[in-house]
Structure formats: C-alpha cells, structure tokens
Amino acid sequence: MKVLDFILRLRKGKEEQQVGMSVVRTDPSLYKKPRRVIELLFGTELADSIIDEIIKSGKDRYSYLTMERGVKEERLVQVYSEVYGNQYVLSLEGNDYFVDEGGFLVDRRTGFKYHYLPMDKDVILVPKSVYMKKVNESRAEEEVVGEGDLWKVFMDIVRKALVSEVNDILVEGQGSIYKVFYKLLGGGKVSVLTLTEKEGKRLVQMLKNRASEYSEVKANVNDRPQSGRIEVENEIELRLEFQPAVEGESVAVRIFNITGYFNKRLEELGYEKDFIEKVRKLAIRKNGLVLVSGSTGQGKSTLIKSMLLEANPEKRRMILLEDPVEMKVKGTVQMPIGKFSFADGVRSCMRAVPDIIVVGETRDGETAKNTIDAAMSGHLTYTTIHANDCVGAIERFILKVVETGEMSAEDVRFNMSSSLLISVNQVLVRLVNGKLKPVVEYLIPDHEDRILIREGRFEELREKLKEKGMTLNQQIEKLYREGLITEEQYLSYLGV
C-alpha cells in the first residue's frame, strides 16, 4: 500500500500528545469528536445509530467503518485529520521514516511527525504490526546510515547547493532529531534532510573529524565554539563554525569555490544604474573611507571586491586583510588574519606602500582607529561593520574609536566627517522570479551632512535619507508595490 500522499495538517493540533497502542471502546457519552467523524462521513441523522452499531459489533471503529460500512481508508484518514487537528499516516513503506524517542514516526524528507492513533485510542490507522516492525528496526539498527553513506548524503547536499546558488548549509539539533537546512541568500531556511539524533551527532562528529585534518579544530571538543575548514572535491572548500547548543551541537557550513579569481562587475550584481555610477567614481579616489555594513551573508565583501575591479588591481597596489580569504582578486595582496589582528594588519599595510587597503571587518576600537588613520593618510580604505542602517554604521564606527580612550568623541567625529566617502548598508532580496537583488541604503555626505556628522546629529541624517526615499524600508516597500516580492517577504523585511 502506498504512503498516503495527502496528509492534512491543522496548526491548532496537539501534535506532541502521546497516545497508546491499545484498542479501547468508549461510552457514547464520550463520543464528542468521534461523533463528529461519523457525522462528516454519514450525516447527523445517522450518527447515533452508527455509534450504537460500532459498540455492539465489538470491533474497533477502523475495522467497522472500513469493512462493514465500506469507508475508504484515505477518506477516514482525511476526516480524522480534520476533526482532531493531527497528522495521521495510513501506512508505511520504504526507509524514509524513523521512530523518534517520543514514539512518533518522522519523515526524513520533511521532518513532519506523524501520529499513529486518534486521541481517543479507538482506531489504529497504521497497522500495529507495521508500527511495531518499524519500532523494532529503529531500536535494532546500531547504524541506520554508515559513515561513508552519511558523507555521501552530505556531499550530495553540497553539490545541490552549488547548482542552486546556496552558499550556506546548517546542521541543527532539535531534541530527538537533527535537521539539515539550506540558508538562502535573500530568504530564510529550507529543510533538506531530517536525521535521527544518533545520525545527526555522527554527522557533526564526522565533519569535526575531517575539519581537524585541515585546520585547528579539535575533534574531541564540544563545549566551546570552533572554526575550521575542509577541502573537498573539485577545489571546493567548506568553512565550518561548530557551536555547542542545548539540543545538540550546531554546525554552520559555508561553501567556497577556491579556483579562479573574483570577476563580478557591479552591473552583473544587479545594482541600480545611479548607484553604480556613483560608486564607480568613488572607487578611483586617492584617499578616504568607504564604510559598508549589513548582516552576515548580505554581499558586503562582494560589493567591495567589485569596486576594487573598477580601480584596476593591475595598476594600483591593493592589500586586503581578510578572515578568512573568501574570493581571490587577481593583482592584489590578500592577507589571511590568523596569528595577527586586523589592527596589526592595518599598521603593517601602511608601511607597505599601498594605494588601497581593505580591512575585512572593524571588530574593535583599535582596528577602527587604525582604519580611519589609513583613510586620512593618503590611502583609499574600505572596511565593513555590522549595523542596521548606513547612519548607524557611522555611529558604531565612531563609538569603537572612542572606546580606545585615545581620542575624544569630538575629534573622532571631525575625522569621520572629513574622511568618509560613502556609508552603504546592504541587504539581498530574493525576487519572485528567483533572482537576487541587492538593495542598498547609502549616504554620500555633502557639506551639510559633514556638519551633521561633526556635531553628532545622526537622527537628522536619517530624516534626510527618509525624505529622499532612500531608506531600506522604503526601497523594499517599492519592490512590493511593483510586485517584485511577495507580501510575506515584505513583512519579513519591515524590521530592516
């Protein structure tokens, strides 16, 4: 018998309610939801008489309705799902399911948990023999998937991610199961695989073992975060973040193609023409600060490296400080941060006669101070910082320098007002046609803006951007009005 394709899921269902295996016949006074089942199948007028017949027959309701009344099993499952608000499985087939510790059947492909019995314990929708066989199989098998097979499954997920333009894979423990997700650019998580708790833990350990061969990850450590990498087939490198968590160690995997050089031009990335024209002019400036902000995975490094191409790396000396080096840019010097800090790297760069310096991330006050020093001493300097908007990026950068105690807030604001070329905040949005579009909020300060920065009047800067319709929220709202994104996407970005 085929697995039931049509399973109704009602959100208000008591999905985690435990149910027993025994067959129990109940008094008619207790037939509230069961009565509703009968009414949906036969109508209100016949409900009482059919309930009496079920009790007198001595049969469970499943057997009576299917054998004596000729109700199709698929219809019975459908009605029970409607009435009880749970998921019910008609039958099982194949190896796409496992039984978790709570006694629920879990679909590996979707992660859905299925109930075996209705809540009143009267009807067995999955035959008990099949259920018990599945339970015994789950208990008996020490390894449902061998390590070689588990690696093969994981690499299939990596390959599919590559052709689907997915850069990140997440492995998350969720109590009695583990789930593997794609983290979509411009979107959320998409579940691609569900594993038993044992399989999930073995996958995490397997990734840790392999990462220990290529990096400083310790395979026997699971109580603190670790960063590592794995080199795999076809010049693909995986960068991994292992994180201890309450319901099972989590792994974030980023995929890199380490062959070739970065060659994406601004036009290819989907930026608006007006923005391209402006940043192209800034990319060939002799000195100043380019500040790019946004959350992880929103294309900050991609934007910077596209701007570097505009300045012709073959003609100008460019030094990039990165942690890690993600995309190679031909003609540049790319320094991986490892045994030295970004702050140390900036000091070294300034002695190495660069034209352009890229500071991969401003994480602390010393790095911020050295970065703005570089921008004010004849170098075109790029850096990234985590912030919610382009004005907030300026504020955070200034605060980091002030935290060092080496400069007053007034002096830092003065330096920022005179050196800042542009502050960009970016988010990637996936359009309804599946394409990714970078949406940018940016400030190229004019004379009045520089005065506002110098005086710390940041809210007035935000109001100016709003009046021009340049905030992220305003631009995303425009995409929604033009039908380029869904309402769900629009609402998810309202907090941007």
pLDDT greater than 50 at residue 369? yes
| Of residues 475 and 491, more confidently modeled | 475
| Of residues 408 and 296, more confidently modeled | 408
Please compute the mean of the pLDDT values over residues 353-369 and round it to a whole number. 95
pLDDT greater than 80 at residue 154? yes
pLDDT greater than 60 at residue 492? yes
pLDDT greater than 80 at residue 125? no
Q: What is the pLDDT of residue 46?
A: 87
Q: Which of 151-160, 254-263, 456-465 has the highest mean pLDDT?
A: 456-465
Question: What single letter denotes the amino acid at residue 198?
Answer: K
What separation in angstroms does the CA of 297 have from each of 18, 168, 253? 41, 9, 12
pLDDT tier, 232 (very low <50, low <70, confident <90, very high otherwise)? confident
Please compute the mean of the pLDDT values over residues 362-390 and round it to a whole number. 95
Q: What is the pLDDT of residue 243?
A: 95
| Cβ neighbours of residue 475 closer than 8 Å, sequence gap 6 or more | 439, 440, 441, 469
Please compute the mean of the pLDDT values over residues 118-142 and round it to a whole number. 46
Query: How far is it between the farthest Cα atoms of the chain?
Result: 96
pLDDT tier, 19 (very low <50, low <70, confident <90, very high otherwise)? very low
Q: What is the pLDDT of residues 244-292, one digit of tens each?
A: 999 999 999 998 876 667 888 999 899 999 999 999 999 999 999 999 9
What phi, psi does 375 have (nearest 5°)? -65, -30
Query: pTM score, two decimals?
Result: 0.65
Q: What is the pLDDT of residue 31?
A: 52
Q: What is the pLDDT of residue 80?
A: 74
How high does pLDDT run on average in the chain?
82
| Range with the poorest average pLDDT among 51-55, 113-117, 347-351, 373-377 | 113-117
pLDDT tier, 120 (very low <50, low <70, confident <90, very high otherwise)? very low
Q: What is the pLDDT of residues 76-88, one digit of tens each?
A: 777 877 776 655 5
Please compute the mean of the pLDDT values over residues 453-477 and round it to a whole number. 95
Q: What is the pLDDT of residue 423?
A: 98
Q: What is the pLDDT of residue 37?
A: 84
| Of residues 116 and 466, more confidently modeled | 466
Please compute the mean of the pLDDT values over residues 105-129 and round it to a whole number. 53
pLDDT tier, 151 (very low <50, low <70, confident <90, very high otherwise)? confident
pLDDT greater than 80 at residue 61? no
% the chain with pLDDT above 90: 46
Question: What single letter denotes the amino acid at residue 119?
Answer: M
For the chain, the first-to-last Cα distance in angstroms comes to 49
Q: What is the pLDDT of residue 176?
A: 85
To 10 degrees, what angle do helices 300-310 and 273-282 make?
A: 60
